[in-house]
Amino acid sequence: MLYRAVQPGLLRYLRGLVGDDAEDLASETWLQIARDLRSFRDQGAGFRGWAATIARHRALDHLRRHRRRPIATVPAEVLVDLPDGQDTADQAIQVVSTRAAIALIATLPPDQAEAVLLRAVVGLDAKAAARVMGKRPGAVRTAAWRGLRTLAAQLDRQAQRERDAAMPADGPVPETGRVTRTVGSAPKDTR
């Protein structure tokens, strides 16, 4: 039950920190959790916070190793193709959406990205996220707020670019036969 409740958020958190190696690090994290479960003492962050702390340490170790000795890896998806009972189209849409969101979060400065991942994806409160990051709760709240504000601005700019690209070269086409309403006025027929 703990695994099913914690794993999805933990995996997204790791994906935001280390990218495609997240599943391997999640496995290492759960192995460490299984080894140290007897020594777990809730110090305010709960099990989810403890698991995120272990995952963070694994991720930082991984990143240090990669800086020293970068390697090229082959994704597991290339090697194994097993059929699943779930709808492939739904899974693909969900995976693409999740990966796009995690990739967008990963463009933030590291402290903001980690704060957003811990707060929004893993589901930790500011106190627990602060323990994981080794910062004060106020600093984590501020980093998460700044990160979310930056993400909102990026999404607004992207939406504007898409609207601009969809608009015809000679300007907007007037619509006919529609009822429009402006703030503070009654509906008017534009026919």
User: Residue ranges of the domains in the chain?
Assistant: 2-75+90-166
pLDDT for res 84: 55
Q: Which residue has the tokens 């990160």?
A: 147
Alpha helices in 69-135 (DSSP H): 76-79, 88-106, 110-116, 126-133
Residues 31-82: tens digit of each pLDDT:
888 888 888 777 666 888 888 888 998 888 888 887 776 665 656 665 565 5
94 Cβ partners below 8 Å, 6+ apart? none
CA distance linking residue 156 with residue 30, whole number of Å: 38
Could you tell me which of 13, 37, 38, 35 has the C-alpha nearest to residue 26?
13
Q: Which residues are bridge partners to 178 per DSSP? A: none
User: Number of C-alpha atoms within 13 angstroms, CB side, residue 71?
Assistant: 11
| Whether CATH 1.20.140.160 fits 2-75+90-166 | yes
Task: Kindly tell me if the per-residue pLDDT of 142 is higher than 90.
Answer: yes
- Helix, strand and coil in the chain, % to nearest 5: 70, 0, 25
Q: Is 29 left (phi over 0), alpha (psi -120 to 50) or beta?
A: alpha
Lowest mean pLDDT of 22-26, 35-39, 81-85, 156-160, name the range: 81-85
Largest interatomic CA distance in the chain: 74
Give the predicted TM-score (pTM) of the model: 0.53
